[in-house]
Structure 1
């Protein structure tokens, strides 16, 4: 049995993905088979070669360049912004995995800004039952009241059930059976909701009631509130807490320990040193931009919550 693990990437994110892949391979069991599939829309041959170097016995690395036409209907839509940054198409790749890879009944998806500290087989072996996905609470926004308001009053979702889409176990067969991709495209084309985290919001909405909550150690995130978890299985440098931008980021030591085992270590150190105080100020301002969007979306008559109330059914 092969354990499929998916990443999505843009070319400039290769150094961070190398850290994640290197850490994943380091903890992979020699008794299991793994296939890492990297989804992209243009990855340079040099960067493909750098990532392919982590392939070893029992760990296969594949690259899949995605067809522009598949995504034509989700480009240039109102509200397609990713956590206060401009819309990037790659955030939606994960939603298409069940349809693009019908050979897999189950798969793991991981964001590239991660470090893996345990055998990813432990995540893959999660018993799914009738659930469509398994994921962790989004701890990066759990203590930020305006974003809790967004989840509760703009999306109409219980904040305690709202999950992060950066680490997923996907019940691919069930998602195909439920027509997950068709529902996503229908929602996107019909309503074009203004959204703070488009991929994550659609996933939470469509899978509502069929999401299994994972041990939070599978998606440990830096924030300004919780103490560090003991022995996290996977670190996810979500939102703006990037150790290559800020010193003393929570869980940052895990990143730099893993980075030392890649050829990008010195470049990453230089990137941190070159990131100016002004750069950091602008990066932190993005969180405020997210918060500022909440008021606008809250009073939008076409937000998720209002539309669900109007049509009296779950979307």
Structure 2
């Protein structure tokens, strides 16, 4: 039965052209599982995304009539705050645009913000339907920073309490998945408070995430279960219980319990599914979480491009490698990689898709 006058769910993304090429995979994971009882508007904060990338993004939703893409040019914001928006490592200035979502979506009172390096394993409307009328954001604990806080890594306790002003022992939430009460955000003037705090701190350790944690008070944060933002870096760090009485063990316990119930995988750190299959030492830990991303990518029109890019990446970073050696890297680390032998050929398959055929001489 067709639902008339469907409610609209607003989803917000922010990207430059480097990360935008992975948006079709994220969108495929969202669209394929999203309830048909809603319409969805995906607003993308555009930091010079190329037209061919936008074409790929448009193609990724063409089968889903209840999804619409909108772009908002953010170059003026970037220029205005270029001296404040410091970046390092794999972060880009697009991450700071989270501060301005209530200004960009002026007529919207509730929205979902998503990082690009995510894979949605569940119906996104379930997240939207969470009641946050009395909160500014809903967000999940960041297990990696909880771990750093416990061990006081890099003097994290002093930074957390004295710089960010967090209560003792309270870890940061991860800002890669946010359900936002835009109306309450505006009422509390959070955008200006974030700009002021960023100006005060200068170079926060986790950029805008630190600022949001500092500005939004604990009583205004709805604690999402970790399955809504399961940071794979937690597995990379190999989290283990410390003592029977440690509050940190509660975070570890939740992560271990939810490993097979993940609603959103968040590929945190500089190690991503699209660059993992090289010589990274933790591939044995991460490969099983990367498989879902590649399976989803195989359903998009950019799959061949992504695969070629991965192979070229491996070849560029190892000049002695030939195509056979690169393929062996995939073979040893991907359970979904298959090789079929015939009398004179070896054929390589990824998700039963033929990707390479090599003549043999033995």
TM-score (norm 2): 0.70
Name whichever structure is richer in strand by fraction: 2
Deviations along 1:143-195, one digit per CA (max 9) or x if unpaired, are: 34316444345434245341011000011000011111121222334x24321
Q: Give the corresponding residue for 2:251.
A: none
Unaligned 5+ residue runs, structure 2? Answer: 1-6, 240-255, 278-282, 319-362
The 8 Å contact of residues 107 and 171 in structure 1, kept in 2 or not, is answered as yes
Q: How does 1:190-201 map to 2 (within 5 A)?
A: 191-201=200-210
Cα distance in 1 for residues equivalent to 2:71 and 2:104: 13
Deviations along 1:241-289, one digit per CA (max 9) or x if unpaired, are: 3111113425111111111111222332333334449969xxxxxxxxx
Is 53-62 or 225-234 further displaced after alignment? 225-234
Q: Give the corresponding residue for 2:355.
A: none
Name the SS for the 2:147 alignment partner: coil
Going from structure 1 to structure 2, the CA distance change for 1:278 and 1:155 (only over 3 Å counts) comes to farther
Cα distance in 2 for residues equivalent to 1:172 and 1:20: 23
Deviations along 1:104-141, one digit per CA (max 9) or x if unpaired, are: 10000000011111111011111113211111111243
1:102: Cα distance to partner? 1.5
Q: Give the corresponding residue for 1:112.
A: 116
The 8 Å contact of residues 112 and 179 in structure 2, kept in 1 or not, is answered as yes
Name the SS for the 1:165 alignment partner: strand
Name the SS for the 1:135 alignment partner: strand
Going from structure 1 to structure 2, the CA distance change for 1:105 and 1:47 (only over 3 Å counts) comes to same
Name the SS for the 1:76 alignment partner: coil
Cα distance in 1 for residues equivalent to 2:11 and 2:31: 11
Q: How does 1:291-302 map to 2 (within 5 A)?
A: none
RMSD: 2.4
The 8 Å contact of residues 140 and 238 in structure 1, kept in 2 or not, is answered as no
TM-score (norm 1): 0.80
Pair 1:89-2:79 in alignment: no
Going from structure 1 to structure 2, the CA distance change for 1:60 and 1:155 (only over 3 Å counts) comes to same
Unaligned 5+ residue runs, structure 1? Answer: 281-315
The 8 Å contact of residues 146 and 171 in structure 2, kept in 1 or not, is answered as no
Whichever of the two has the greater Rg, that structure is 2
Pair 1:207-2:216 in alignment: yes
Q: Give the corresponding residue for 1:76.
A: 83
1:67: Cα distance to partner? 4.4
Bigger relative CO (Cα 8 Å, ≥ 6 apart): 1
Q: Give the corresponding residue for 1:50.
A: 56
Q: Give the corresponding residue for 2:11.
A: 5
Choose which of 172, 175, 185 in structure 2 pairs with 1:165.
Answer: 175
Aligned residue pair count = 275
Choose which of 308, 311, 314 in structure 2 pairs with 1:270.
Answer: 308
The 8 Å contact of residues 222 and 241 in structure 1, kept in 2 or not, is answered as no
Choose which of 31, 44, 47 in structure 2 pairs with 1:41.
Answer: 47
